[in-house]
Amino acid sequence: MSAVDTGRDRSLEALVERIVDGHPRSIARAITEIEDQTARGESILQQLPEPDQPAAVVGITGPPGVGKSTLINALITELRARELRVGVLSVDPSSPVSGGAVLGDRIRMARHASDPGVFIRSLASRGQIGGLCRTIDRVIRLVHAAGFDLLIVETVGTGQVDVAITEVANTNVALFAPGLGDEIQALKAGILEVADILVVNRADSPHTRGTLLELESMLALRGTEQRRVPVLATIATTGEGVAELADRILDLASSD
Amino acid sequence: MNHRGKVLLTKIGLDAHDRGSRIVATYLRDAGMEVIYTGPWQQIPDVVNLADQEDVDVIGISSLATDHALVPGLIQALREAGLGHIRVVVGGIVPNAEADELIQAGVARIFHPGASRESIVQEVEALAAEARTTIEQDHQA
Amino acid sequence: MSEHQEQKGSATVSQGDGKPGDAEAQRAWKERLTDLLGPDDRRTNRSGLEVRALYDPNDWDSSRYLEDLGYPGEPPFTRGIHTSMHRGRPWTPRLVVGYGIPEDYNKRMHHLYELGLTGLYVSPCNSHMRGYDPDQVEPVLLGTCGTLIATKEDMDLCLDGLPIDRESVALGDTAPYTLSALMFNVAKDRGIAWRTLAGTSTQSDYLSHCAALGMFFRIPLDAQRRALLDHVTWMNETAPRWNPMSVVGQHYQQAGATPAEAMGFALSAALQHGMDLVDRGADPEAFLARFSFFFDVSLSFFEEVAKFRAGRRVWSRLVRERFGVKSAQAKRLRFHVQTSGADLTRQQPLNNIARVTVQAMAGIFGGLQSLHTDAYDEAICSPTEQSARIAVATQHILRDEAHLADVIDPLGGSYYVERLTDEMEEQILSVIRIVDEAGGMFEAVRDGVVQSMIGRSALQHQRAIDSGEQVVVGLNRYVIPESEDGDEQVLQRPDPERIARYLDRLKHFRETRQQRPVQRALDELARAYESTDQNTYQAVIRAVAAGATHGEICGRVRETVGFGNPPVVV
Ligand SMILES: Nc1nc2c(ncn2[C@@H]2O[C@H](COP(=O)(O)OP(=O)(O)OP(=O)(O)O)[C@@H](O)[C@H]2O)c(=O)[nH]1
Ligand SMILES: [Mg+2]
């Protein structure tokens, strides 16, 4: 990827055009270039047209196994019913030893694999801490340029370090599992401060009410001058509560 | 290329025994590869779209029953979608006679039970590199 | 050769019986041994327990004989659950037979029957396992791993001329349990009273399926739980000789769990099912007497013998503690065993006959009640007629020629086996503790705790094979070129014409039956699953009677309760 000849330029232009048209293969290839931090990837980004409006990026974060991917799956269904095009970027950690990764979030979203209005991509964190990968903001720019109305970013996080997501997302959804008394206490300084929506997923559990109350009282302790943060309950596996979550997300996205 | 290959490990058809694919996923990860893992019962059109969006280099199909009989159909579908560069490997129980048929249909490699960790890792990595080269050549063209 | 002499010499030393002075003799022998083997000679079994070179009276407290071993037929059943064990009640040779269309299955079954097989076993095609009718899947996938069964008519053909009124029948049945519903309807049509039917729903344990075998996962975990409890309740009331609860340890071990883990998980699952039944008001003295278990037996001979002996002991004590049962009947760990397919190799497949023989011996010395010996080609394809015959003959040779059924628990009292039994007991109990801490087996499986333990053990075993530490003949040692393997492997694909004929028949069945009753029965089924108090299995029995197919029943249940979504743990 050294000298830029005109032939390559033309192919680059064509590629960018296809990306803007929302052509999945071109988006996918370009993401690989960006992830690999190649010169070609840089050129693609430079050639992308300026967006008409900023990207609406929803960050979904929460502890391992809380149901993030399952909830995103349900959200996609909901957003598709509202005729929005959805891009999903799911970040999983790379092994610090080998650099490899097992990316398993898509399992939960298999239903949307063949919907042209949905683009899902798994990303490995590749050495970046904080639950994200180094290139996430650039990948977001690219997928946004491809005309997706809403971008959802899934990251694993336990509360303290994952504040990184707030730097790329403009709506932050934090997920909790019912019955996490002590862990919630530990969250004070963390995600609770930056989250825009709190969700207790797995609301089919009997501990849900207690956890909802606990979260609400913690929010109340922050004082009245703070912005209002809704606390919702969802059952990702059945889709219960997801329509309301979508409402709140879209409200926030349009007010930003 | 920064990473050492991106591999989709999946199962099509009816069987769901996943001991083998879980072990292989770990092997490939420990060798520095990025593995998309889907679990069983995937449909061919979905696998094709998934491979497309994830821009994978290799697809590994695990088959312990007779599900490998669907692999030629997968390869056909990949080619029709313009994803002919993706190398397809099959791991699991494939009787000899049917193994030949799979190779003729375009399967790059069959890993029988007992295939060593080294051979799996090395060959998958080499196939991923091959797939990448094919794409680079496309860029040049 | 000097080493050989040394070891022979050492045998005299170990013959002490705890008298003072033995300690001195033992120490001296150990020194000589260390000189020979070096200080680093450390070996472990699959469950991770250290295996020493020799065991002696210090390893076994024989004064606890009555508490820890007792006599066969008496708690804690370490030596066997029946008074006469194999001497009076030889085990039942049982082969999993599943192949082709119902007529093929029936022919194969009659053939095996003539060879001396007794128990019947119906293993359906993977399409069935997934909850579909054969015409809902790709034809090329049909009939190689099991028999095509969708309708009552199919079941009737499968069992044509077979004595289901006399012989016990094992059915690879899982929620919503259509297979047994098909058979019970066939029995009814043949005028056989349900209360006389004997058999087992061998795959009824949804927890093992979910944790170790996503294969059967058709509906969500809580719906599976409901379906199982309904099945057990209905069977206990209607067919008292049927064993609706078959707890499966085999799946865990095939998926890579160690023998101790597999036993621990199975017992934890059984506790869960038992607690669930108690919550429904069932009487543990009654339902526990009908619990049966299904285990894998690997090549790790002594470890497996100890696994079974320890498992019996642990179970009899656990049910006393947790359910307060008193009768011996309710405390017995009755089990079927299948030799482990995971130990078989594709290379030099005839070697598998030797492997299966050793596995079978471990199961027999472990005190099993019925036995499936894998055919030597089972690792590659469904058994051929010849390989199935050898598998049955292996059992007859062990029983009648080698006289393994003559003496009860013949390894009992061996210092090694008793010590190992104690150690396996410890390991099994520690697995059960882990599951208890996770909130019981239902939650441990739902949250993937069990799955990740299995994954770790599977990887560890594979690493041992990869490194050559665990020898596998023909695979990582004593390898020969494949061309000299000596056995041509062919996957028996059923004749496509027969499959096509079968599919025509199914179509005809669907078209010519009375449609209204089918729809009504399926609506009833949906209502039963929506309700909290109706018995869903009763509704399945009725739907089959009305002419509904397996796929229609599963489809309707799925529509009502949704798809299963097991956690995937890498
Ligand atoms: N009962 C119940 N189970 C749920 C719910 N949401 C998710 N699950 C289950 O929880 C398990 C994990 O869900 P995932 O969506 O993979 O969780 P995740 O947070 O994305 O997990 P990681 O990406 O591994 O951190 C799956 O088995 C889901 O079916 C829910 O609301 N109720
Ligand atoms: Mg996830």
Q: Look up the CATH number of the domain holding residue C129.
A: 3.20.20.240
pLDDT of residue C436: 98
Mutate to test the interface with B, among A18, A38, A102 (most CBs of B within 10 A): A102
What angle, rounded to 10 degrees, do the helices at C301-323 and C351-365 form? 40
Q: Which residue has the tokens 């290139």?
A: A135
Interface residue ranges in chain C relative to chain A, Cβ cutoff 8 Å: 220, 447-448, 562, 565, 567-568, 570
pLDDT recorded at residue A223: 65
Q: What is the DSSP string of C170-238?
A: EE---TTTHHHHHHHHHHHHTT--GGG--EEETT--HHHHHHH-GGG--S-HHHHHHHHHHHHHHHHHH
Give the ligand whose atoms come closest to the C-alpha of residue A67: 1
Least confident of A51-55, B34-38, B87-91, C188-192: A51-55
- For the CA of A235, the nearest atom of ligand 1: 31
Note the CATH number of domain B6-140: 3.40.50.280
d(CA B136, CA C145): 43
The protein residue with its alpha carbon nearest to ligand 1, atom 14, reads A67
Residue B30 CA to residue B53 CA, distance in Å, equals: 24
Give the residue with greater pLDDT, C273 vs A225: C273
**Nearest ligand 1 atom to alpha carbon A62:** 19
User: Is there a contact between A237 and C562 if contact means CB atoms under 8 Å apart?
Assistant: yes
In a domain, C405, yes or no: yes
A240-A242-A243 Cα angle (round to 5): 110
B95: closest CA of chain A, how far (Å):
29
* Cβ–Cβ contact A221 with B under 8 A: no
Q: Is the pLDDT of residue A57 over 90?
A: yes
C-alpha distances out from residue A15 to A46, A64, B80, C328, Å: 13, 37, 20, 76
* Residue B107: per-residue pLDDT: 98
pTM score, whole prediction: 0.90
How buried is C248 (Cβ within 10 angstroms: 0-12 exposed, 13-18 middle, 19+ buried)?
Answer: buried
Task: Look at residue C215 in the predicted model and tell me its pLDDT.
Answer: 52
Chains that touch A (3 or more CB pairs under 8 A): B, C
List CB contacts (< 8 A) between C137 and chain B.
Answer: 14
How far is it, in rounded angstroms, from Cα A251 to Cα A255?
Answer: 6
Task: Give the Å distance between the CA of C278 and the centre of ligand 2.
Answer: 36
Helices (H), chain A: 6-20, 24-35, 39-47, 68-81, 136-145, 165-168, 181-185, 191-194, 208-221, 242-255
Pocket of ligand 1 (CB under 6 A): A 62, 64-70, 105, 108, 156, 201-202, 204, 235-237; C 565, 567
Q: What is the pLDDT of residue B23?
A: 93
pLDDT band, residue A183 (cuts 50/70/90): low
Q: Where in chain A is the domain with CATH 3.40.50.300?
A: 52-255
Mean pLDDT of A175-188: 72
Q: Which residue's alpha carbon is at the smallest distance from atom 29 of ligand 1?
A: C565
Q: Touching check for B84 and chain C: CB below 8 Å?
A: no
Strand partners, A240: A235
* Residue with CA at minimum distance from ligand 1 atom 2: A202
- Which residue bears the tokens 């705790």? C449
Nearest CA in chain B to A5: B140
Give the residue, out of A237, A238, A242, A245, with the most ligand 1 atoms within 8 A of its beta carbon, to mutate for a pocket test: A237
Mean pLDDT confidence for A202-223: 86
pLDDT of residue B1: 45
Write the residue in A65, A70, A107 that is nearest to C448 by C-beta.
Answer: A65
Tell me whether residue C567 is in a domain: no
8 A C-beta contact, residue C392 and residue C372 = no
Phi-psi region of A46 (alpha: psi -120 to 50; beta: other; left: phi over 0): alpha
Token code pair at residue C49 = 């327990």
Q: For residues A93, A96, A97 and A98, what is the CA-based torsion angle, rounded to 10 degrees?
A: 50
Work out the minimum CA distance from B104 to partner chain A, whole angstroms: 27
Selected for mutation to probe chain B from A6, A86, A103, A109 (highest B CB count within 10 Å) is: A103
C interface test, pick of B36, B66, B70, B71 with most C CB neighbours within 10 Å: B66
What is the phi-psi region of residue C490: left when phi exceeds 0, alpha when psi lies from -120 to 50, beta otherwise?
Answer: beta
- Judged by a CB distance cut-off of 8 A, whether residue C464 touches chain B is no
A63 CA: nearest ligand 1 atom: 25
Chain B neighbors (3+ CB pairs < 8 Å) = A, C
Chain B touched by A14 (CB under 8 Å):
no
Q: Residue C547 domain-assigned?
A: no
Q: What is chain C's pLDDT, residue by residue, as a tens digit (570 residues)?
A: 344 444 433 334 444 455 555 789 999 999 999 999 998 999 999 999 999 999 999 999 999 999 999 999 999 999 999 999 999 999 988 877 777 899 999 998 898 888 777 777 888 988 898 899 999 998 888 888 889 999 999 999 999 999 999 888 999 898 999 999 999 999 999 999 999 999 999 999 999 999 998 655 678 899 999 999 999 999 999 999 999 999 999 999 999 999 999 999 999 999 999 999 999 999 999 999 999 999 999 999 999 999 999 999 999 999 999 999 999 999 999 999 999 999 999 889 999 999 999 999 999 999 999 999 999 988 776 778 888 889 999 999 999 999 999 999 999 999 999 999 999 999 999 999 999 999 999 999 998 899 999 999 999 999 999 999 999 999 999 998 877 776 566 666 778 899 999 999 999 999 999 999 999 999 999 999 999 999 999 999 999 999 999 999 999 999 999 877 767 777
Q: Which residues of A touch C562 (CB under 8 A)?
A: 237-238
pLDDT score for A244: 97
- What H or E segment, with its residue span, contains residue C315? helix C301-323
In a mutational test of the A interface, the residue from C565, C568, C569 whose CB has the highest number of chain A CBs within 10 Å is C565
Q: Which residue in chain C has the smallest CA separation from B120?
A: C466
From the list A24, A94, A98, the residue facing B31 with the nearest CB is A98
> Could you list the residue range(s) of the whole structural domain that residue C214 is in?
69-467
- What's the number of domains chain C is made of? 1
C448 touches B: beta carbon within 8 Å:
no
Q: What's the confidence (pLDDT) of residue C491?
A: 65
- Mind giving me the DSSP string for C82-139? SSSHHHHSPPEE---B--SSHHHHHHHHHHHHHTT--SEEE-B-HHHHTT--GGGS-G
Closest chain B CA to residue A101: B34
Residues of chain C with C-beta less than 8 angstroms from the C-beta of A237: 220, 562, 565
Q: Are A180 and A200 in contact (CB under 8 A)?
A: no
Kindly state whether residue C422 falls inside one of the protein's structural domains.
yes
What would the 3-class secondary structure string for C462-476 be? Answer: HHHHHHCCCCCECCC
Spans of all domains in chain B: 6-140
The alpha helices in chain B, defined as continuous H runs, are 19-30, 44-54, 71-80, 96-104, 117-140
| pLDDT higher than threshold 70 for residue B89 | yes
Is the Cβ pair B37, C570 closer than 8 Å?
A: yes
**Residue closest by Cα to atom 21 of ligand 1:** A65
Q: From the CA of A236, give the closest atom in ligand 1.
A: 31
Domain spanning A52-255, CATH class: alpha beta
- Residue A210, strand partner residues: none
Determine the Cα–Cα distance for residues C415 and A120; give it in Å rounded to an integer.
Answer: 60
Residue C490 contacts B, CB cutoff 8 Å: yes
Q: Report how far ligand 2's centroid is from the alpha carbon of C270 (Å).
A: 31
Q: What's the rounded mean pLDDT across residues A201-220?
A: 88
Query: In which residue are the tokens 């869960």 written?
Result: C272
> Cβ separation of B41 and C130 shorter than 8 Å?
yes
Asked if the Cβ–Cβ distance from B31 to A100 is below 8 Å, we say yes
Residue C225 within a domain: yes
Within 10 angstroms of residue C483's Cβ, the number of other Cβ atoms is: 6
Give the 3-state DSSP-derived string for C137-156, with helices as H, strands as E and coil as C: CCHHHCCCCCECCCCHHHHH
Is residue C11 one of the residues assigned to a domain? Answer: no
Q: For residues C544 and C182, is the Cβ–Cβ distance under 8 A?
A: yes
How far out from the chain centre does Cα C297 lie? 9
Kindly give, in sequence order, each residue whose CB lies less than 8 Å from that of residue C306, ignoring residues fewer than 6 positions away. Answer: C417, C420, C421, C423, C424
pLDDT, residue A225, reads 63
**Of A105, A99, A98, nearest to A36 (Cα)?**
A99
CB-closest option in B29, B49, B53 to A95: B29
- The token pair that represents A175 in the structure block: 């997920």
The token duo for C37 is: 């083997």
- Give buried/exposed letters for C261-298 (b at 16+ CB in 10 A, else e): bbbbbbbbbbbbbbbbbeeeebebbebbbbbbbbbbbb
CA C175 – CA C224 distance, rounded (Å): 6
Q: Give the H/E segment covering residue A122.
A: strand A118-124
Residues of B in CB contact (< 8 Å) with A are: 1-4, 6, 25-26, 28-39, 42, 45-47, 49-50, 52-55, 82, 135, 139-140
Whole-number Å distance between alpha carbons of C122 and C107: 13
How far is residue C456 from each of residues B23, C214, C386, C449, C461, measured CA to CA in Å? 9, 17, 37, 11, 9
Looking at chain B, which residue has its C-alpha nearest residue C213? Answer: B17
**C252 SS3 class:** helix
Phi/psi at A60 (nearest 5 deg)? -115, 115
**Closest ligand to C566 CA?**
1
Half-sphere exposure (Cβ direction) of C244: Cα atoms closer than 13 Å:
27
Q: How far apart are the C-alpha atoms of C528 and C525, rounded to whole Å? A: 5
Partners of residue A87 on adjacent β-strands: A119, A151
Q: Is A151 helix (H, G, I), strand (E, B) or coil?
A: strand
The four Cα atoms C322, C323, C329, C335 give a dihedral, to 10 degrees, of -50
Q: Which of B2, B31, B47 sits opposite A36 (nearest CB)?
A: B2
